[in-house]
A = this chain, B = another copy of it.
Amino acid sequence: MTDLSSTSPTTAQASAEGPQVSDFRLANGLEVVVIPDHRTPVVTHMVWYRNGSADDPLGKSGIAHFLEHLMFKGTERHPQGEFSHVVAELGGQENAFTSMDYTSYYQRVAREHLETVMAFEADRMQGLVLTDDVVGPERDVVIEERRMRTDTDPAAQLGETVAKTLFTHHPYGTPIIGWMHEIEGLGREDALSYYRRFYTPENAILVVAGDVTADEVRAIAERTYGTLPARGAQPERVRPQEPELRASRLVTLADPKVEQPSLQKAWMVPSYTTAEPGEAEALEVLVQLLSAHSTGRLHRRLVVEKRVAVAAGGWYQSTALDRSRLMLYAVPRPGVTLDALDRDLVAVVADIVRDGVEDRELARAKTRLIADTVYAQDSQASLARIYGSTLATGGSVDSVARWPQDIEAVTAEQVRQAAARWLDARRAVTGYLLKDEAA
């Protein structure tokens, strides 16, 4: 049920030639977004809550993700398993995921079953029932999930340490799944008080993509979600911001289990939500230009020309409520030290800062970026996800529509300036993953 999605990037933007999207609110504050997609008689129904792991209360890391698990434990009206069973019986699919900024629940069903899933989802926005009998065992599931994914994987451990070193004050430094010692302390009351705080109509965004009209969705939404009482206000998100950055940081993790050394370099950079106009778009183009498979500068320089790496790339977490990160990585060829590889990687960025980028590679990066997003909209779920993640991080339907033009408008000089301003050593945390030969 769980996709810890913020460990990989999401580009929450779509094409200008996209669908005519409706965006309105019910009387209780619920925001509704309808994306017509009449290619097949199916609908994708998602509810997005504007809270993710970065909203976990102090000392309760992991609660957003834990609650996502617990949301499948049944309500006053529907016992545990009934919702999932009905979706399966209807031939549908379901999923849920927790990111740093939002939590989302998803079903895909034939269009005639939309009201059924909307009624179930509206029901569990307020009727969740939790007993110690279900909370304890589910916590063990999460503990085991963490153990499997992170605590036995040196690369995941390095990733966590790089993140917490990059974000020491802002909660993006805390893993979505939570720190083990805090997960172990999460209980029923923690889950319920978090649920009551954040699972409200005002805090949710309903996204329906598919073979429906806005009027149809509005009518069903009124009958289902519309019956939930408003809480009066959107819950507050407490997000302390990082202090000014002044020192480069290197994290070294050596473990006997490491078979392949690697290096990563993460910079704190603006997101679409925090950036000055054009800045996030320039970073998006920059990272594309650096990291595109086989044509990106990192691959060309480090893998093909200098032959110091066997792989190199990067990503940019552009869709985020607060300042976010851009990450480049490289995997050394045998015999190349990480220090040497790091110098070569830094030189690739320094070249752009000094000499700028070529028109041809700029054009190619933009085309690729826009095309990738347009292709993604082929999937109804991706389409819904682009709108949901954008809206849940402070963007608008309009910003999704405008995005391709905004990317087209990025100039070579903006890309150079974005590299110069943001990919500065003082903003960076470098991570080295090494085999511990001694152990």
Contact = CB atoms under 8 A, between A and B. Distances in A.
Given A58-B58, A164-B169, A173-B168, A253 B243 contact: no
B244 A253 contact: no
Interface string A170-213: 00011000011110000000000000000000000000000000
A165 interface: yes
A182 B249 contact: no
A235 to B, nearest CB: 15
- Best-buried of A59, A179, A249 by chain B (most CB within 10 Å): A249
A414 interface: no
A250 B253 contact: no
Contact of A240 (B182, B248, B249): B182
A247 interface: yes
A189 to B, nearest CB: 15
A147 to B, nearest CB: 12
A247 B243 contact: no
Contact of A168 (B164, B180, B240): B164
A360 interface: no
A241 interface: yes
Q: How large is the interface on A (under 10, 10 to 19, 20 to 34, 35 or more residues)?
A: 20 to 34
A161 B253 contact: no
A253 B247 CA distance: 5
A246 interface: yes
Interface string A138-166: 00000000000000000001101100110
Contacts of A252: 247-250
A231 B140 CA distance: 39
Given A59-B238, A168-B168, A174-B169, A251 B249 contact: yes
B161 A241 contact: no
21 contacts: A58-B58, A59-B239, A59-B240, A61-B240, A157-B247, A158-B247, A161-B246, A161-B247, A161-B249, A164-B169, A164-B243, A165-B165, A167-B168, A168-B173, A169-B174, A180-B243, A247-B252, A247-B431, A249-B252, A250-B251, A250-B252
Nearest to A166: B168
A161 B429 CA distance: 12
